[in-house]
A and B are shown apart, each in its own frame.
Chain A
């Protein structure tokens, strides 16, 4: 059974601080890793799709890196703001069933 793990489960960060969290996934048969942000009372929203080992993606203050050989991705947020409070989910594409396998998410809470 393929498993996607995210850590930590939750994180409290002071406004203005930078933070990062981890997504671990199977290192074999890799096709793509997706990152989504899910704010309370809203729908999950795509952040990045990552495909190549060593990939780095950036969107404003948020960036992500990918290591497919060891099976992990890091998401970084620089200078956290209250609007960054959300659950950040990663999802691994599994091709035999054409599905995304999701981690349980990291819940980020920014303290003013």
Chain B
């Protein structure tokens, strides 16, 4: 079975531009979470979507938005890019059962560089 896939793998943008990152979950998984990971820190939670509804949102500005499609794939959009948005963006899918104990399965990430 295919794991979580993300596209693109690398992306270079300039300040002020907009970017869309894509994620396809493991087949049968209905929940997708997005994380931002900066070198030397743990992943920072951005969003979780379950059954196309936002279930949780981290402490990120409104420039960050996401959505989940009927096939459970997801997009993360970031507007008005800042240099500080340069990071590895990870997507994780899970098959929600209890919530707190759900194992998350991660994709390879998208490396975003903002110049």
Write the residues of chain A forming the contact surface with B, with a CB cutoff of 8 angstroms: 4, 31-32, 34, 42-46, 49, 51, 89, 91, 93, 95, 97-105
Contact = CB atoms under 8 A, between A and B. Distances in A.
A66 to B, nearest CB: 13
B101 A32 contact: yes
B109 A43 contact: yes
A97 B107 CA distance: 22
Which residue among A46, A89, A91 has the maximum number of chain B CB atoms within 10 Å of its CB? Answer: A46
Interface stretch (B16-24, B55-63, B67-75, B76-84): B55-63
B90 to A, nearest CB: 7
Contacts of A98: 48, 55-56, 99
Nearest to A30: B100
Closest 7 A/B residue pairs (Cβ)? A102-B42, A98-B56, A31-B100, A43-B106, A99-B45, A32-B100, A93-B100
A43 B44 contact: no
A55 to B, nearest CB: 12
B43 interface: yes
Interface in B95-111: 99-101, 103-109
Contact of B42 (A42, A43, A91, A95): A91
B55 A44 contact: no
